[in-house]
Amino acid sequence: MPSRGPHRSDRAARITAVIVNYKVADQVLDAVASIERQALPIDLHLVDNSVCARQAQRLRATGLPVLENRENVGFGRACNQVYRATQSDYVLLLNPDARLLPEALAAMRAHLDVHPEVAAVGPRPYWDAARQFLLPPIRMPSSTTLPVLSLPGRAGAALRRRLSLAWRARALRFWCAEQPLRQDCLSGGHVLLRRSAVDAAGGLFDPRFFLYWEDVDLFRRLRAIGARADLLPAAGVVHPFGASSRTETPPTPNPSLPGRALYMAKHHRWSSRIADLLGKIQWHQPPRPRSAGACALPNPIPHAWQQHWCIELSPDPLFLWPLGLLGRGPTLRWPQSLPDWVARGEAYARLGPATGAQGKLIVVPPPVLS
């Protein structure tokens, strides 16, 4: 249990922090500790959706304010409960499995203090504690995204390849940024928000979103009022989304799909309908690429790329959600910590230069867990 610091819950603080628990109290305690190490006055609140006496007891033992819900109301509604009950200038949202790196919160608060036009700021997100894998930027879909992903035949495949390369270019800008970088959207799992801007955009989260996509909806509303969102590379967070595992685990249904459907119906109704129609048409689809890759891992890495290369690791052949591994030199060594979908044989890997002209990328075999 984290030690009782001087700023465990300071109601006069300019920052309110919210952590929502659903049966992961141990992780919550670690997230609390990472906030307390920031050495800033913070009004820290915990919300328990577990409906479990043991979980609630673990949270209450911290001495922090704990809101215990009688049912699992979802992430967005739980955050809204604390948001409506507080009045601080800034609101920090942190997932239970996320850990702020030292001085991250001070850097984010200073950025908002200096830039009143910025509504939200997020730290550079690392997937692993060793900070080798980088999480990708959060994408805000356009009206053409779903139809392109659903379009059959060679034309659809060609458009999806162009879309994938565009996403890679955006991810590289995100991963390689050394100065604050404007973003369409930031992750609701680790973000500092300006309350006045959120209020002007209609409030925190749309309560219809149970889990996932509520943050994309919020940032769409913020963008509509002209507010800015920035990535701050000087701040960092470790967020091991999809925990590391060396054992095979059965795949589970994608929990983000209901949120995505609600978002698309709310903001892109016609493109969702077109995508649904395309999906119902029985076309001959080209086979998906094998996860074993198209060729062997080059050894050494092509000379033109050795100054700065990037390999993407993703559970999807289009690399819609890739982890990024940046490196220099002629060889690649996979980190020891890898996502659980690698163990299930669902990984795809793509190698190319991190700077300059992209040229032809190389699809390579993913790491093999022994």
- Tens digit of each residue's pLDDT (9 = 90 or more) over 294-343: 345 667 888 989 999 999 999 988 898 899 999 999 998 888 889 988 88
d(CA 235, CA 6): 23
Whole-Å CA distances, 283 to 31, 122, 148, 156, 270 = 48, 42, 15, 11, 21
- Tens digit of each residue's pLDDT (9 = 90 or more) over 49-84: 999 999 999 999 999 999 999 999 999 999 999 999
Cβ-based burial of 47 (10 A; exposed 0-12, middle 13-18, buried ≥19): buried
Averaged pLDDT, 157-165: 85
Residue ranges with strand state E in 7-101? 15-21, 43-48, 66-68, 90-94, 99-100
Q: For the ranges 63-72, 135-144, 274-283, which has the lowest average pLDDT?
A: 274-283
What pLDDT, on the 0 to 100 scale, is given for residue 245? 33
Averaged pLDDT, 176-205: 98
Whole-Å CA distances, 256 to 75, 129, 210, 215, 337 = 12, 25, 10, 12, 24
Percent of the chain clearing pLDDT 90 (strictly above): 61
What pLDDT, on the 0 to 100 scale, is given for residue 275? 59
What pLDDT, on the 0 to 100 scale, is given for residue 242? 57
Whole-Å CA distances, 194 to 32, 123, 134, 152, 227 = 21, 15, 25, 43, 10
Residue holding tokens 């390369």? 165
Check pLDDT > 50 for residue 130: yes
Q: Which of 255, 316, 91 is nearest to 188 (CA)?
A: 91
